[in-house]
């Protein structure tokens, strides 16, 4: 890592301590930002297609951005939470190769840091609703961005520091849970980085293979082995993630978003989007931005 250029920073949306009940039940939530929970009482449940976790007191939980999950509480859940965007400088997400819900035993320092984050950021709760269909709206995102700009410099530094420390705990855990990532060849890592930085371009597998000085078929097999996806499927996945982010944080038309994320035309964008998420872009945007 370049010592003079830290690869990531975070833009905070919400932080608060809340008491939840059986109304906290939402399915198929997939957001363009991170969530961290600290549970101090009660019980709930997080579910993803590949994992289910019981929310229990004394533990931290992470939902990385673009991670599909269900949220559930039967009776009562006392929860500290923080939601924040990942601002990338390198083009590659911290959890690029491990988008899954995670659980860690909270240390005494973790608990104090979470409480400190809430204390120095008063009035940053969801306030309107705990339903993602209500609070995931562009107007609300802009409100939080304005609040971030108005934060005292000392609070900005302290908040950023707390988020970095909390995230470092999960990064270390993910490293052990996904050991094979250590062995990804540099040419594949370079290809991943190139894809992230050129999603708006007409990327081809041949171009990526040429950049890696490899035969196209050999490169494709190597890419599949180390990422779990063929290059084209990976490109489509990252383009759809970028499109999701743009749909909930901007007023851009679906046509403009399609072009900005590297699709030749709107019908192709709609086809790939629906294939990946089983919902059309228009329906996704309505679901994400509309107040019921």
Q: What gap in Å lies between CA 116 and CA 211, rounded to an integer?
A: 47
Q: What is the pLDDT of residue 267?
A: 93
Does residue 98 or residue 177 have the better pLDDT? 98
Residue partners of 78: CB distance under 8 A and separation at least 6: 17, 18, 19, 20, 39, 40, 41, 42, 57
pLDDT at 181 over 50: no
Domains, the chain, ranges and CATH?
8-180 (2.60.120.10), 184-289 (1.10.10.60)
Does pTM surpass 0.85? no
Q: What digits encode the pLDDT tens for the residues 59-111?
A: 999 998 878 888 999 999 999 999 998 876 555 677 766 778 999 999 999 99
Q: What gap in Å lies between CA 262 and CA 6, rounded to an integer?
A: 27
Residue partners of 239: CB distance under 8 A and separation at least 6: 199, 261, 262, 263, 272
pLDDT at 289 over 60: no
Q: What digits encode the pLDDT tens for the residues 249-266?
A: 778 899 999 999 999 899
Give which of 97, 57, 30 is closest to 241, Cα–Cα: 30
Q: What digits encode the pLDDT tens for the residues 118-165?
A: 999 998 887 655 555 555 555 566 677 778 888 899 999 999 999 999
Give which of 148, 75, 80 is closest to 114, Cα–Cα: 80
């Amino acid at each position: 890592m370049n010592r003079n250029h830290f690869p990531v920073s975070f833009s905070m949306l919400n932080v608060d301590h809340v008491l939840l009940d059986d109304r906290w039940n939402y399915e198929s939530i997939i957001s363009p930002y991170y969530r961290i929970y600290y549970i101090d009482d009660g019980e709930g449940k997080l579910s993803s297609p590949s994992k289910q976790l019981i929310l229990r007191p004394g533990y931290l939980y992470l939902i990385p951005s673009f991670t599909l999950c269900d949220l559930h509480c039967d009776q009562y859940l006392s929860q500290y939470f923080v939601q924040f965007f990942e601002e990338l400088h390198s083009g590659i997400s911290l959890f690029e190769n491990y988008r899954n819900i995670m659980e860690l035993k909270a240390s005494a320092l973790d608990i104090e840091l979470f409480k400190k984050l809430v204390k120095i950021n008063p009035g940053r709760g969801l306030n309107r609703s705990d339903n993602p269909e209500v609070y995931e709206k562009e107007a609300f995102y802009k409100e939080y961005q304005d609040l971030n700009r108005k934060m005292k410099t000392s609070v900005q530094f302290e908040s950023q520091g707390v988020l970095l420390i909390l995230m470092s705990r999960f990064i270390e855990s993910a490293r052990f849970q996904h050991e094979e990532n250590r062995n990804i060849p540099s040419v594949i890592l370079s290809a991943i980085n190139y894809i992230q930085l050129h999603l708006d371009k007409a990327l081809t597998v041949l171009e990526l293979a040429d950049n890696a000085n490899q035969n196209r078929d050999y490169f494709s097999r190597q890419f599949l082995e180390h990422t779990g996806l063929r290059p084209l499927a990976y490109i489509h996945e990252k383009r759809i993630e970028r499109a999701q982010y743009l749909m909930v944080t901007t007023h851009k038309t679906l046509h403009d978003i399609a072009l900005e994320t590297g699709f030749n035309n709107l019908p192709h964008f709609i086809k790939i989007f629906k294939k990946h998420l089983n919902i059309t872009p228009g329906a996704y945007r309505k679901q994400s931005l509309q107040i019921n």
